[in-house]
Structure 1
Amino acid sequence: MENQSQSSNSLGLGDTGARVKELHRMLQTMDFYVEGEIETFSEHTRGAITRFQEQRGLITSGQCDQITWDVLVENSYVLGDRLLYLRRPMLRGEDIAELQRSLGALGFNPGKVDGIFGPDTQNAVELFQRNSGLVVDAIFGPNCMVAIKRLGERVEQGSVAVVQEKERIITKVKSEAMPTIVIGHLGGFSPIADGFAKKLRELHMNIDVINHYDESEHADICNKNNIDLYIGIFPPVENENSISFYSAKGFTSPGGSHFTELFKQYFLTKTGEPIETLGNSEKILRETRMPAVVLRFSSTKELITHSQTIFEVLKDSVLSWFSEPFV
């Protein structure tokens, strides 16, 4: 008989059974090896889950909640295991990220390497098929797999998507049009977000605020409206100040990375305190198609107390980023 946590969608210390065995199998396919009984959630399991959560930018609880389970399932696929195509909800997984890295290295722009088979990846597959003399159906299957292997391993060259992100930002700067920025939060930070937005509008910037509990809703709104920069103000994951940008195997957002470095420099200058910069693939950073960053402060009290200083840092970072987006 299986013993499982109170929530049927969560696995934790002491749980046993087939789902725990499957959890261990998925962890081991990604080189997170667990010692001991394979059908028991042990301290070794909790350690492996914590390391996986840290790597993927998830909340590091050490428990396998539904979000962690879903990400594990997505990342257990190997390219060639299944047909890849555009559908709703969109397919996700490490096999798609591998496809995106390969297409980008070959000059077919799949957009951000986010492990999501979206319109950009569909277009890249179609273009690859057309250039390879294959049937153009936008479905990555066995014939595409053979063709991409035949062209050899060129993923170390880097993705064309990195170059194109830089070009989009530089084009915006040269147009001299004011940027369109979204400040997003998941609820509870309305006074802070609205205050930042009001002050940035006084500098004649185009600013919108999104207050919604679902990060995917933030990403969907931003993607549909061609936003130039997303700035999230989220609750802390750990007791520290940090600013995150998108980074995953084969792709680091140049725009997001540079913004976090600017913010770090200005924050240190104005406060005398460091702020940690993190590259990860948490949900909002993975699903947005524009450069995006997420700010986290150790407590809401600290965020409110230092809101004026944080605004000054944010203002200087935005102005520097859009006047000289890359150094």
Structure 2
Amino acid sequence: MSVLQQQTTGAWVRQQRKAPRRRKTILTASLSLLVFALLAVNIVLGSYTVTIPDFLAMLGGKTIPGASFIVMENKFPQAVLGLLVGASFGVAGAIFQSMLRNPLASPDIIGISYGASATAVAAVVIFGVRGAGVSVAAIVGALAVAMLITALARGRGGSGLILIGIGAAAFMQSAVTFLLSRADINNAQEIMVWLTGSLNSATWERVAILAVALLLVLPFAAAGSRELHGLALGDDTASGLGFNVPRARLLLTIVGVLLAAFPTAAAGPIAFVAFLSGPIAKRLNGGAASMPLSALVGAAIVLAANFVGVNAIPGVSLPVGVVTGALGAPFLLWLLISSNRANQGG
């Protein structure tokens, strides 16, 4: 091979390596702009509309009668909470789906979100817990269920864990139904709204708590991204590449559970956000999983669903979980049908 041919071949190889990075950069920028646009739409448009100059003036400290309270204490914190919740669910889903190599392995499918819900409801109905105590109960429940299904599925692989998780989710859902039947009417109504998944109770305090929690946990997710890519190749391959598979699984499981539990505690178990974000981001990224892209997709889903829920039906504000559930259920059915066809050879 001549020197010219070697140089041409080397240039082609470098170009091929740069192409995925360029694609991901463009995709990240595009999704970031989409999320920013949806954030702005949720704040300034809808049932109560303000102009951008008025919003900027309120950000600068100006008080506009009526508008300041509705926008700064209602719509703005709802939008920011939706962004944080969606991003957190998106990363949690991407972690479990990549680690277990199955798109069904999201926290809301394998029982982790239901574990958080069941313990939170039990804390309210049985012990009369309120406020931060409910959030703590949700986090503890999510961790407990995750550790339980991991222990029960040991040696059974990812498919075994998913099946055990689905069984655990069904059990937890039954427990929630029983607890609701024992609750008084006021508690039951409040719990049902929370279980649906809603941003209506958003406050700046909740936003700050969730933001701090994510700032503490997300660095561990970033640190575990290399191990996650290794586990996505399979346990045997990951071991052959020098990864400590049990330690990596434990670390990523804890991080994924926390990233699912924190937004659940803040806004309830918003259905299918974790389930949808990873596969959509993966498809957009040419088949490569990405936690940052999953976070952006999750944030976009929640913000878009919140705007639709608030404004789709005049005079009626649907919880964001109703809209995401309507989006996610058909996707789940399509995934199950397509997987079944693939297993049958067509």
TM-score normalised according to structure 2 size = 0.24
- Bigger proportion of residues as helix: 2
> Which structure's relative contact order is higher, taking Cα pairs within 8 Å and 6+ residues apart?
2
